[in-house]
Structures are given as C-alpha cells and as structure tokens.
Structure 1
Amino acid sequence: MKKLLLFAATILPASAEVSAQLPAESATTRILHEGDQIVLEVHDSGNHTWRVQTSDTLGTWTNGDTRRVFNGTLRIPMPIEGTKRFFRLNTDEAGAFASDSDSALLLPATFLNHATPALPPHLLTPAIRGQDNTPVSNPTTNAGATLGRVLFYDKRLSANQTISCASCHQAAHGFSDPRRFSVGFDGGLTDRNSMGLTNAKYYLRENYFWDERAATLEEQVLQPIQNSIEMGMTLDLLVTRLSAEPFYGELFIDAFGSATVNSDRISKALAQFVRSIISGQSKYDAGVASGFTNFTAQENQGRQIFNGAGNCTACHGSDNFVPGNAIFNNGLENPYIDKGVGRVSGLPQDEGLFKVPSLRNIELTAPYMHDGRFATLEQVVDFYSTGVVNHPNLSPQLRNPPGAPGAGQPRRLNLTTAQKAALVAFLRTLTDTAVTTDTKLQDPFRYEAE
C-alpha cells in the first residue's frame, strides 16, 4: 500500500523553523528552514523508498528524485523557489534505487584500522596481551569489524526497527547508557544498567553480562537482539531482514568471503567491532610515558590512594584497570535485591557476585553499578569510603586483613574530603575521548540525501 506525506512550506526568515508531523503508518516528517533551503526530514522506521514531488498550486505535481531511507531517518535538502510551495512524498517501492554500500553508508574506499590499532608500549606488554579474550576462531579483521560497526548501529536488529545496539551503548558515554535503565524497542525498561564497552577485549574471564551468563563475547552480542524487552527479534527474522539488503551482501563478502548471512557471522562481526573499542590515549596513558609529570598534585595524590591505601588495584588491576581472573561481591547491600551470578546459578555463595568492567572512560559511563544506583563518581567513592556492607559473600579484598584492627570486617577507606576529591580526579585521568569520537567507531549510515 502506498503511503503519502503532504505538507506546505511557506518561506519564512532564515532563522525560523516549521515542524509538521503527519502520520503515514511508520513515517513522520519535519520541515526545517535552513538558510537558503528547506530540509525535509523524514523519520521512517520501515526504511521505505520515497519520491519527492513539488507543486505551486496543488494542481500539477512535478516529480523529483527518489530517495531511500536506510536507517530510520533521512534529510532531503530542497531549494527554495518563490514564496510558497507544496511538497509531497510518496512511497515508491517499485522505483529503481541503488541499495549498495556506497548509497547506504559513509565508508571510506579503504577499510579503517580496527585490527591493529596503534597503542603505547605499556599496553603491548605480555601481561596486557595475556588479558586479550579474542578467540582463535574469530580474530578481528578490518572488514569483519566494519561489518560489525554497521550492525551495531543498524535499527533493523530490533523488531520494530526503532533501536540499535548503539541506542543503549552510546559512544559519547563510553559506549554505555546515561539512563539508569535502558529503554527497549517497545518502551519497556531493562532491569540493569548498560555496561560501558571500552576495553571489553581485555576481560580475561571472557564471560559477559553483569551476571556473566554469556560464556563469550560472541555469545553475548546475540542475546540482547533476542531479548523480549531489549530488541525483541528472532535470529531467523534478522537473517531474512539483512539478507534482503544488497549492501549487506557486499559487507559479508568482504568480511567472510561470501554474501551468506547467518547468525554465526553476525555474532562474529559484532564481537570484532566491540573488541576494537580500545582506549590508549587518556591523560593516564600520557602519564605512564612521562612518569606522571603531566598530572596535577591532586591527580597524583589520587593515583597514590588508588594504588596504595585504597587497594583499588585488587579489583581494577593493570593499565587496563580490569579484574584479572576474579569476580567480586563489593558489599552494596545485604541481602541483594538483584543476586547477580546467584540469580543464574541459584547458589547462595554466588549471591552478589557481579562482573567488574574496566575503569577506562569511567567518567563518561554514569550512572554506576549494575543497577545504576550511584549517579556520580563522588557517590561511588563515598560508598567505598564509608558504605561497604558486611555481606557473607563480601570479597576478601574488601575485608580488613587478619591481624589488622577489625579483622574480617568490611574494609572502609574513611577518606577525608580532600582524599575523596583526589581519587575522583585520578579516575577522570582515565577518560579517553579519542575513543568516543573515533571515526571508525561512529554511526556509518548515510542520513543526508545527496
């Protein structure tokens, strides 16, 4: 069935904006006046092909170009002619329109470098390489990660084509969600905070999700797609949907040697992209090379607390600030409302155990903890200073050691106001906006009609 959007645009001062939203099943539009042109901004989760028509009288319509929506939104610039014009958009599914990667995507002729990123020497040591969870069966390639990048931002991965992986893992927020709980395809809320993805490659334990229920990253990336709250898809429907897009055929050929789309290849490509989200250009990284002479006195004080009296490295070790091969109960409450690993295993000894993500880009990933209970880094530091709760499964690293005052009791740092501020200042040196703004990690879809 054809769909129609009809609207009039009266020429206004360049600073003015007119908005109109007219329902046509899945499509709406806005009319924007931008300088010497009008922009038709179409929002269409069905990704239809549209033909632009214009008229001065509503009596005679002149056909314009045919445009395809590739990922829910398309901006169509139109020159201003006269003082009043009418515009009409008709779906034109029968019209010829290229659906190759050049039309759909803003990708360079040569693949960007996902496979061998330039990293400083301290992130190339045997100890750091030993944290790498990349399986032999799925090495990161430039073509594979590029396919994964397109999939990561593609709203086709959700049932109603309204959200993508990037909706809940936003680059500007360290590939996490600034909301406490993420909004799914049908408006429902997740029951946990979306974890930041920076340096997920270096999670030695390999298991993913807060409760580690996915054994590998390849397994993890398919689960949100099939989750009834998050994206609501079946893998069979996803394969059918992607197979219908010619540009995906090109990407799968580049990545895997043939145009065949299947869930195994989807999972491998998504995992490759996620593993390419690597931080190595923070103020901290510059400090390693300079002996931290680039740090302020406050930041160096915080670094000393982190590495020394705070014992933070027990759970956030190495220059990747990851937990090694351990999982922890950090004494958030007793009993736990969300039992973490215990919810999966049913074992009392697993209650309150949660995955520990890397602290890289931690400044950008608020709110914090599995349930997003802490809105700021200051609140997190306050918790470790005075708020750790005595739970039966509280990890030994958060208990006073034998022979010390209060042996076996929760280890609370009892920091001064100045020390807490210093620790927060140090954590902010782990911010790396080179990752959050890196072209190869951004949305690749074409939203502006040429």
Structure 2
Amino acid sequence: METRNSRKMAALVAAFAFGVSVAHGQLPAGSSINIAPGTGQTLGSITVNDPGNHVWLLQTSTNLTAWTGVDTWKIHNGNYHLSLSRVGSGPGLFYRAIYDETQQTILSTTANALLLPGTNFNYAAPVLPPNFLTAPIINQDNTPATNVVTDPGATLGRVLFYDKRLSTNQTVSCSSCHVAKYGFSDPNRFSTGFNGSKGTRHAMGLSNARYYQRGHFFWDERAATLEDQVLQPIQNPIEMGMTIPALLPRLAAEPFYTNLFTKAFGTPDVTSDRVSRALAQFVRSIISTKSKYDDGVASGFANFTAQERLGRQIFLGQVGNATCAACHGTDNFVPGPVANNNGLEFPYVDTGIGGVTGRAQDMGLFKVPSLRNIELTAPYMHDGRFATLEEVVEFYNSGVVNNPNLSPPLRTPPGQPPGALRLNLTTAQKAALVAFLKTLTDTSITTDEKFLDPFNYGN
C-alpha cells in the first residue's frame, strides 16, 4: 500500500475488489471519509463529510502505485456523495479521495453549489383557496408591508435556511431542527445544537407561521416579529453559536451568496437585515392548503369517513363539550389575538410568556401554533412531553391542570363547580378526534422541491 504521509495531503484508498480500505495522512479538521463497497458488479460509493467545505481530488489506480485523476469536486455544504463507476481494466480497481491544501482553487458558485431552477419557484403568489383570501384568515397574516414575500427573496431564504455556515462550526442549519418531512419540526423532544448540547423546548412546526395573528414568535413570544425570530437561533449559544459580525463576511465570501443577494435586494451587500428578511420570507412561504381537510371544505366534507366527521364535530363542540376550536380556530387552526394557558402543570416549571414579561397573569401562557400537519410534528407541547396524538387527546380529555391562569375555554362552564374542564370522551370519540386531526396532514409541503434542501451534494 502507498504510504504517503504529507502534512498537506490526506487520502483514503478503497480496494473494492478485495473489500479493503485504508486511510492515512491528515484530513481537514472535523472531516471524515466513509466507504460503502458495492456488491457484485457494483463498485460502491464514497461519502466525504467536511464542514470546512474543501476541494477534494478523486483518483483511481489498478496497482496502488500509478494514480490517474478522475474528478475534482468542491464540497458546498458539509458533505459530498459519489457513486463510483469502473475506470480502466484489470483484476483490481482502487479509488482514493485526496485533500490537498495547495489545490483549493474551486469556488462555490450558484451553478455548482446549488440545484436551483432557471426560473425561480413561485413563492410570491401561491395559489390559495378562497377561504384564505377573506376574513378571518386574511386578517391573521403577519407579513409586514416592509417585507412582502418575493421569489428571489424566498429563494435566498431557502438557501440560508439549509446552510450550515450559519452555525459557528458549520455543522447545523435551521433545517437541522426544522425538518421538512416532519412538518418542519424536530422528531426529537429537544434539538441538538452545534456542540451537542440540548435545548429545553421542542422545535415547533413551521406550517402556516405566516398566519399567526399575534405576530410574535417562539413558545414564549419573546421575538416581536418573524424577522426578529430568525436571527436569534443563529446567535443562541446552545443552538448555532454564531455571531452576526462573524456570519456576514463568511456569507459574503461565497460567490453564490453575492449573486443571490443581488437578485433579491439589488446589490451584493450581505447585511443582517437582509439575512433576516430573506429567512422570514422563506418561512412565510411554507403554506399548507392541500390536506384532506382542505379538499373537504368545498364539498361539505363528503370526502371524510364517518369517524373523521365525528371527530370534526367533537373538535367544533357539536358533539360533547370539547372546546378545541376556541384556541385553534378558522381553517388555519390557530388562535386569534390571545395567548393561552392550557393547564399543562401547576406550579409552573416553565413560565412561558410570563418568564419574559414578568407579569403574574402571563405565567404559564404559551404561543399556540397551527394544528396543520400536527400528525407529522410529534412530540407535542412546548416541552415535547407527549409522544403521540392519542396522549394529547387524553390530556385534554382528563388531564388539564387547574391553575390561576388557565384559559377560559378549559375551565368548567358556569353552574358547575369551578375547576378544569373534563371532556369525558368515550374510547371511540377519542379515536375519532385523532382521526380528524390527521386530516390536517399536507405532505405536499414536505415533498415540494421549492421547500427542500437546494445544495449540491454530488449524486
């Protein structure tokens, strides 16, 4: 085997014919190379993980002595995957991926770093159903006049959303905690930050964040606008650990960003205001309107099963005494101008909005997110304490905890002893309510390319 051991060069050699792999030399900090040998006539693949986004050389050999260059590629967002094909002939074929610090000559341009369409996706003028264009839903739109969604602005926001450069060690992005297939939430109870630390609240789903009427963000509403919110995880010491003064030149150094900022804002200047506005535009573009529930609106829910129809009646309070719609109103399933205390606990372990305002009447109040795509966003509540929708329904059925700030819809009605409301649903009714909640699932936003990772990771 070759024994090159230069400080400037690192290589991984894969002898697929014999199932042998050898690594030697010095890899860039934090990087690794993984070999996946194939079977039969398939040679396998190489995956390079490299948060520093370096240039790598791919070479092949039949004798581990004479090496021929096959390709040179730039890593654009932390990793690169290459399926290997046979080059040359002979009983043995060897590949190696080499990092050479003297050959870092390829830049990340829009053409090679990103897989963007020739014409921008439509973010600015989504096709919305009629009920989204009239009151009360139109009044829930928190888009400011100073930051309306544009196609190039949201395109830039999409790239920023998936870019690991936004974290100090370039290992996590916004999408690490807001994963598309989980309704842009985290399947883990608490998200993992750039250095392996865990937060204390669950990452809520982003579906229809545009329609939160109060306009504040985070569970405790500490961000006055979405534009304020999107910059805070970047600077959070647990989440992404970055600083804005360090971030801006990092982004400005990438040719694809100067190109995208020019298209979005007219000049290549990379500023915190523009980063904020672009990210907010992308998040507001994630609008769910293609669920089974949406299909049913126009037909009087003729597409629902008997169980789903019963669940809807329970949700609306037409069967039994549930008050779900009081806090999850309109076809967006969000509250109006109030925050709520849903009786999770007392005394309060997490004081929510009260921890920000310091007011006694705000203790235990939290933002109420949309229920759209709720099937995808487990676990549930601000602390992810419930793993399933069945557990959530049972909590509202029998587990709401009375406390001084409990929201009125969850209190017993006049004429009954004061306390927390009990729904006393039957097993069949609880199952029906869960079935109805699942009609709010819209997988189109989890698979639509315009919401997915745009970076080029090889093949």
TM-score range, shorter chain: over 0.9
Instruction: Write the distance in 1 (CA, Å) between the matches of 2:44 and 2:393.
Output: 50
> Given that residues 48 and 91 in structure 1 are in contact (C-alpha distance below 8 angstroms), is that contact kept between their aligned partners in structure 2?
no
Could you tell me whether the CA contact under 8 Å between 2:56 and 2:97 is conserved in 1?
Answer: no
Are 1:402 and 2:411 matched, yes or no?
Answer: no
Q: 1:347 aligns with which of 359, 365, 374?
A: 359
**Which residue type is aligned with residue 180 of structure 1?**
R
**Map 1:331-346 → 2, pairs under 5 A:** 331-346=343-358
- Counterpart in 2 of 1:288? 297
- 1:435 is displaced (CA, Å) by 1.0
> Aligned to 1:271, what secondary structure does the other structure show?
helix
Instruction: Give the SS at the match of 1:126.
Output: coil
Aligned to 1:383, the other structure's residue is in SS state helix
For 2:277 and 2:79, locate their aligned partners in 1 and report how far apart those are by CA, in whole Å: 27
- Aligned residue number for residue 164 of structure 1: 173
RMSD after superposition: 1.7
1:86 to partner: Cα distance: 4.3
Q: Contact (CA 8 Å) 1:9, 1:31: kept in 2 or not?
A: no
SS of the residue 1:149 aligns to: helix
How far, CA to CA, are the matches of 1:327 and 1:338 in structure 2? 15
Q: Which moved more, 1:420-429 or 1:408-417?
A: 408-417
Matched, 1:191 2:195: no
Question: 1:36 Cα shift?
Answer: 3.8
Name which of 298, 312, 321 aligns with 1:303. Answer: 312
Within a 5 Å distance, the mapping from 1:99-248 to structure 2 comes to: 99-248=108-257
Residues 153, 199 of structure 1: alpha-carbon distance in 2 compared, 3 angstrom cutoff: same
Instruction: Give % identity.
Output: 60
Query: How far off is 1:98 after superposition?
Result: 4.6
Q: Matched residues in 2 for 1:340 and 1:128: separation?
A: 26
1:273 correspondence with 2:285: no
Distance in 1, Cα, partners of 2:406 & 2:23? 54
Partner secondary structure for residue 406 of structure 2: coil
In structure 1, how many angstroms separate the alpha carbons of the residues matched to 2:362 and 2:370?
21
The worse-fitting range, judged by mean Cα deviation, of 95-104 and 163-172 is 95-104
Aligned match for 2:436, one of 415, 426, 429: 426
Identify the range of structure 1 (118-127 vs 171-180) with the bigger mean alpha-carbon deviation: 118-127
Return 5+ residue gaps in structure 1 as ranges.
none
Q: How many Å separate the matches in 1 of 2:275 and 2:93?
A: 48
Aligned pairs, how many?
A: 443
Unaligned runs of 5+ in 2: 1-6
Letter in structure 1 aligned against 2:305: T
What is the DSSP-based 3-state SS (H/G/I as helix, E as strand, rest coil) of the residue aligned with 1:58? coil
User: 1:51, 1:92 within 8 Å by CA — same for their partners in 2?
Assistant: no
2:71 aligns to what?
65
Equivalent residue, structure 2, for 1:378: 390
Partner of residue 329 from structure 2, selected from 294, 310, 317: 317
Q: Deviations over 1:126-173 (max 9, x none)?
A: 321111000011000010001000000001111111111000000010
TM-score, normalised to structure 2's length? 0.93
Which of 23, 26, 33 is the aligned partner of 1:29?
33
The structure-2 alpha-carbon separation of the partners of 1:19 and 1:154, relative to structure 1 and needing over 3 Å to count, comes to farther
**Aligned partner letter, 2:66:** T
Q: 1:140 touches 1:275 (CA, 8 Å); kept in 2?
A: yes
1:394 deviates by 0.6
- 2:61 paired with 1:55: yes
2:3 maps to: none
Aligned partners of 2:412 and 2:161: how far apart in 1? 44
Kept in 2: contact 1:181–1:372 (CA 8 A): yes
Q: Which amino acid aligns with 2:452?
A: Q
1: CA distance between counterparts of 2:391 and 2:42? 49
Which AA in structure 2 matches 1:231?
M
Deviation at 1:89, TM superposition (A): 0.9
In structure 2, what is the Cα distance between the partners aligned to 1:21 and 1:424?
52
The SS at the match of 1:196 is: coil
Q: 1:91, 1:124 → 2: CA distance?
A: 56
Query: TM-score scaled to structure 1, two decimals?
Result: 0.95
Deviations 1:92-131 (A, max 9, x none): 5645425211100110000001111112212222321111
Deviation at 1:39, TM superposition (A): 2.1
